[in-house]
Amino acid sequence: MATERLLLAWPRSAALWEGETALAAARQSVRQFAMTAARFLPVTVLTADAETDRSAARDLEGVSAVDRHTVPYDDIWVRDTGPIWMPRSPAGQPVVGLFDGWGEKFAHAEDARLASRLVDELGLTARRFDGVLEGGGLQVSGGGVGLTTREWLDARGLTPAGLTVFGADAWVVLDYGLVDDHTDGHVDLVARFTDGGDVVACVADEDDVPQHERLKQNFEQLLQAAADGLVGGVTALPLPKDRTPVGGVRPPRSYANFVVVPGGLLVPTYNDPRDDEALATLAASFPGREVVGVDATGLVAGGGALHCCSVTLPEGVNFAHG
């Protein structure tokens, strides 16, 4: 499935980001993400209303290959609130499930409608999933193997057998997501497929309790999946050294929340001593791609990073005005 366009959303509310300073930092991160991504493919930035659109227009002025589209939404995490495509998904038929604010944790009146609105405005036909669904909770490799976590499945009342709409022939179910992850264990923060069907999986320092044991269990499960022929090799990807909480909660700082773009790999960085190590690990895991770090420090306080706040539209899918 060739990629054609990256979809982002502009941070709209100081209340959601706990103040104007954090909102400005989030907008700066999205701006850098859009500018970097536009080197590889066109980018559309969603804006929720006229005020948000004016802010985005001002901050993105002069950035080439980036346009805007206005549609109501609450927050920027379109990986979970937008339509879902997987490698075996028909381009014109994304999956649309229900969105409940990650288990009713956050207000989501507009986000609950966003995927359906986007499908309509893109001129597509949705394949409806009768249950709560978030794109960050699962992946499917080009070879037809699904990857998710038991923690997320249980929190949403799902089973691998009930996810046939994504076309996976088999599923690898890891036990855990990150500690303090408000999404209840999204796999895109702990383990990701490479182009060739290998997996990069997060590991933690031994004194990082209980993160270390959780991710060690995941890694062992992936090694078993490799032995069973479900995945290729498994490569350890460090977590950032910084464990500083924000508002009493540890943000989900993870290098696994990268985005694959044509010819490149965009990786969240955190002004952390391990940024370079993570970029080198991912460069070795994705040969032939240009690996570029994007400062995600302004995003992670809101609960995610690059993959969480983006959707890749397949080739030929675009808004009529684009």
Helix extents (H) in the chain: 20-37, 50-59, 78-81, 101-104, 111-121, 150-156, 211-227, 275-285, 297-300
Mean pLDDT score of the chain: 95
Burial grade of 60 (CB within 10 A; 0-12, 13-18, 19 or more): buried
Q: What angle do CA 76, 7, 314 make, to 5 degrees?
A: 140
Q: Which among 142, 163, 134, 167 is positioned nearest to 87, based on CA atoms?
A: 142
The pLDDT of residue 3 is: 57
User: Cβ–Cβ contacts within 10 Å for residue 1, how many?
Assistant: 14
- Using DSSP bridges, classify how beta strands 3-9 and 43-47 pair: parallel, antiparallel or unpaired: parallel
The model's pLDDT over 281-303, given as tens digits with 9 standing for 90+, comes to 999 999 999 999 999 999 998 99
Going by C-beta distance under 8 Å and a sequence separation of 6 or more, which residues neighbour residue 207? none
* Rounded mean pLDDT, 56-83: 96
Radius of gyration of the chain (CA): 18
What is the C-alpha separation between 132 and 297, in angstroms, rounded?
29
Q: What class, spelled out in words, does domain 3-314 have in CATH? A: alpha beta
The model's pLDDT over 149-205, given as tens digits with 9 standing for 90+, comes to 999 999 999 999 999 999 999 999 999 999 999 999 999 999 999 999 999 999 999
Report domain extents, the chain.
Answer: 3-314
Burial grade of 136 (CB within 10 A; 0-12, 13-18, 19 or more): buried
The pLDDT of residue 208 is: 96
Can you state the angle between helices 50-59 and 20-37, rounded to 10 degrees? 60
pLDDT exceeding 70 applies to what percent of the chain?
A: 98
* Partners of 46 in beta bridges: 9, 69
- In the predicted structure, residue 107 carries a pLDDT above the cut 80: yes
What is the C-alpha separation between 230 and 160, in angstroms, rounded?
15
Instruction: For residue 235, give both structure tokens.
Output: 């490569």
The model's pLDDT over 232-262, given as tens digits with 9 standing for 90+, comes to 999 999 999 999 998 889 999 999 999 999 9
Largest CA-CA distance found in the chain, in angstroms, rounded = 54
The model's pLDDT over 4-52, given as tens digits with 9 standing for 90+, comes to 899 999 999 999 998 999 999 999 999 999 999 999 999 999 999 999 9
